[in-house]
Amino acid sequence: MAKLPEAEPNNLNRISSGTGIKGDVKTNGDIRIDGALEGNLVTLGKLVIGSSGKIKGEIECKNSDIEGEVSGKIMVKELLSLKRTSKIFGDIITDKLAIEPGAVFTGKCTMSSNTSNATKPEEGSKQRERPDK
C-alpha cells in the first residue's frame, strides 16, 4: 500500500441503502457504505460499511469499521474492526485488528505496522503453525 496523504477533515461521503455502484471509488475523506459497490475503493480516511453494505472488490483505507459484507482484499493502514454482523471473504492486511464474536472471516490475515510490505513475510521471520490434532 503506497503512502497516502492525510485525509481531508469534515469530508464525509455516503452511498445509501438501495444504491448500487459499479466502478472504482477514490476519495480524500471518510466514506460510509450502506448500499452496494462492485469495484475497488480507496480512501485516505475512515471507511464504514453498514450492516446492509456490500463491497465486491479491493479496499484500501486508513481505518475501517465493517458491519456488512466484503468479498475481496482489505488493506487497512491502522485499525480494522469487524463487527458481529460482518462477513469477510478475502485476505486482510492491517496494523491492528479487532473482531467481535459472531463475525465471519474467511481468508488470510497479515498484521504489520508497515502495510506496504505486509504481502511478503520478512526473511528469517518465524511463522506460527497450528499443531495437528
Question: Is a pLDDT exceeding 80 seen at residue 8?
Answer: no
Which helix (H) or strand (E) covers residue 119, if one does?
none
Residue 11: its pLDDT value, please? 77
pLDDT tens for 90-131 read: 999 999 999 999 999 999 999 987 655 444 444 443 444 444
Residue 62 has φ and ψ, to the nearest 5°, of -85, -50
Residue 122: its pLDDT value, please? 43
Residue 112: its pLDDT value, please? 83
Question: Is a pLDDT exceeding 90 seen at residue 1?
Answer: no
pLDDT tens for 9-67 read: 667 899 999 999 999 999 999 999 999 999 999 999 999 999 999 999 999 999 999 99
Question: Is a pLDDT exceeding 60 seen at residue 74?
Answer: yes
E strands in 62-131: 63-66, 69-71, 74-82, 87-89, 92-99, 104-106, 109-111
Q: Are 11 and 28 in contact (CB under 8 A)?
A: yes
